[in-house]
Amino acid sequence: MQIRSALISVYSKDGLEPIIRRLHELGVQLYSTGGTQSYIQKLGIPVTSVESLTGYPSILDGRVKTLHPAVFGGLLARREAAHLAQLEEYKIPELDCVIVDLYPFEETVATSNDPAEIIEKIDIGGVSLIRAAAKNWKDVVVVGSKEEYKMFLDLLHEQAGEFSALERRELARRAFKVTSNYDIAIFNWFNEGTADISFKHSIHRSDILRYGENPHQNGVFFGDFEKIFDKLGGKAISYNNLVDIDAAVLLMREFQVGKPCFAILKHTNACGVARRHTLLEAWQAALACDPTSAFGGIFITNSTVDLQTAEDINKLFYEVLIAPDFEPSALELLRKKEQRILLKIKSFEVPKRSFRSLLNGVVEQDTDLKTETEADLRTVTERKLTAKEVGELIFAVKCVKHLKSNAIALVKERQLIGMGCGQPSRVDALRQAIAKAKSFGFDLKGAVMASDAFFPFPDCVEIAHEAGITAVIQPGGSMRDQESIDACNKFGMAMAMTGIRHFRH
C-alpha cells in the first residue's frame, strides 16, 4: 500500500523533522494536533489541523483532541466498498498512517511524586490512535514510538512511501508492544502499596493470599485457582503455600498413573516420596523417608484418601493435603483440624510455559515436562542394568528432577531414602543425601542414585560405592564422563546416561 495521508501526534519531537520532510516530498497529506501541528508549521510544511476534521477544538485542557469518528473512522475503515462508501457519506478522509509518541508516563513517575502531574501523563488519545491503526494494519501503517522512527524513515527513503503487508504487520506488532508496556507501567503505579485494598474488592477472594513470602509482605495470585482445585477446608492460602503447592503438583504429575504414591514436600523440595500397593503403605513409607522434615509440610497423593490413611495423617501437623478425592469419612475427620488446607485436585496438567520475575522483568521458558522412560536410558558401563534397577532409576530421576540444584536422590524399593539439594557442589549434595539416609536408619546397600546434572569428576561414584550404592543415572555430557564410567566399571556398578539435564534453580 502507498501512504497518501498521515496523522502525526507526538510528545517528543526528537527525530521527527526528517520524517515530516520526507512525507512532504512524497506528497503525503499531513494532519496534526496542538504542539505537533505548530512544530510542522514552523518547518514551513503545510499541515491540516485535526480540529478542521472533527469540527471541535481541543477541549478539557487537551485531554480530548483526536477522540472523534472523523479521525477513527479514517483509521479503522477497511479499504473495501462498504466502508469506503460510509467514509464518503460522512466526508471522512482515509488516514493511511499514524505516527505517535506517547506522554512520558514512566519518566514522570521516576521524577515526580505529584499524583496530579502523573495522572496527566496517562495518554488516552495516543494509545487509542496506536491501537486503532495497529488493528487495521492491513490498510494502515502505524509508528507507535520514536524507537521506530529510524525504521520508518529508512523505508520511506527506500520505497517512496510504499509499505508491504509484512512491514505493516511488523510495525503493528511493535505498536501493540508499546501499548502493552505502557498499560503495565500505569497498572504498576496504581498498584503500588494498594494490593491489600483495591484487589480485595475487585477479584475473587481466593486470589488474595494470606500474606506474601513473609507476614509483613502482601501477596496476590493472578490465576484461576479454582480451575485446578476445589478447596475443601482450611485457612487462607499464603504465598509460600502456593509455591509449595505448585512444586507438589509438578512432582506428583510424574507419578499420577499407577500404584498409590505419596509425596511430602518442604520448601518446594521433596523430602519423602514412596509408591506402594496401598495408600496407607505409601504414606507411611513417604513419612519414614524424613519424619523430621515432614512436620508442617505439604502432602500430596495420586489416590483417593481413605479413612485409615486419614487417621494416620491426622496425627501429624501439616500445612496442605492434596488428593484427587477424599472418602466422605476421611474428609469429615480431616476437616476437624480447621486450619489445615485440604485441596481436591482436578487435574495434574500444568502449563507448557512458565514465568519468573527477574531483575526488572520477567523470563519465560518451556516448562520442564520431560519425563524419562526406559527408552531414554543408555547403559554406558560393562555391567548392564537389571530390570529392577531400571525401574528404580526411573523413579529416582523423577524425584531428583524436583529437587533444587545441585541435587542427588537416593532410592531403594521405590522410596526416596536420601536426598541432597541446593548444594554448591555435587559432592556436598551426595554426602548430604547419604547422611540423611543413615540418620533415619536406611541401609544403602543395593540403593540407586540419580543426579540432576553430570559428574565432572569420579568422586561421586567413589563415594556412592563406599556407601553401598550399585547403580547410577545421570545426564552425562562432561568432558570427563569416561572417568566416572571407569570408576563404575572398577567397582562393578552400573551407570545409565539420559542426555537430559534437570537443573532447578
Residue 23 makes CB contacts below 8 A (sequence gap 6+) with: 3, 6, 30, 156, 161
For the chain, give me the number of helices (H) and strands (E)? 21, 19
Which of 121, 135, 231, 438 is labelled catalytic? 135
Q: Residue 137: how many CB atoms within 10 A of its CB?
A: 20
Q: Is 24 a catalytic residue?
A: no
SS3 percent helix, strand, coil of the chain, rounded to 5, is 40, 20, 40
d(CA 376, CA 392): 14
Answer whether 74's CB lies under 8 Å from 105's CB.
no
Which of 68, 83, 267, 337 is labelled catalytic? 267
Name residue 100's beta-bridge partners: 9
Distance of CA 90 to the CA centre of its chain: 47
440: three-class secondary structure by DSSP: coil
Say if residue 406 is preceded by a cis peptide, omega within 30 of 0. yes
- Look-up of cell digits 478539557: 60
Q: Is 267 a catalytic residue?
A: yes
Strands 5-10 and 29-32: parallel
d(CA 351, CA 399): 20
Q: Which helix (H) or strand (E) holds 404?
A: none
Distance of CA 94 to the CA centre of its chain: 41
Going across the sheet that includes 408-411, the strands are: 378-379, 494-497, 471-474, 448-451, 408-411, 416-420
Answer whether 106's CB lies under 8 Å from 185's CB.
yes
Q: What are the helix (H) ranges across 192-304?
A: 198-202, 225-228, 239-253, 279-289, 291-294
Residue 201 makes CB contacts below 8 A (sequence gap 6+) with: none
d(CA 46, CA 57): 19
- Integer angstrom CA distances of residue 200 from 35, 194, 204, 331: 42, 10, 8, 29
Q: Residue 347: how many CB atoms within 10 A of its CB?
A: 12
Active site residues: 135, 267
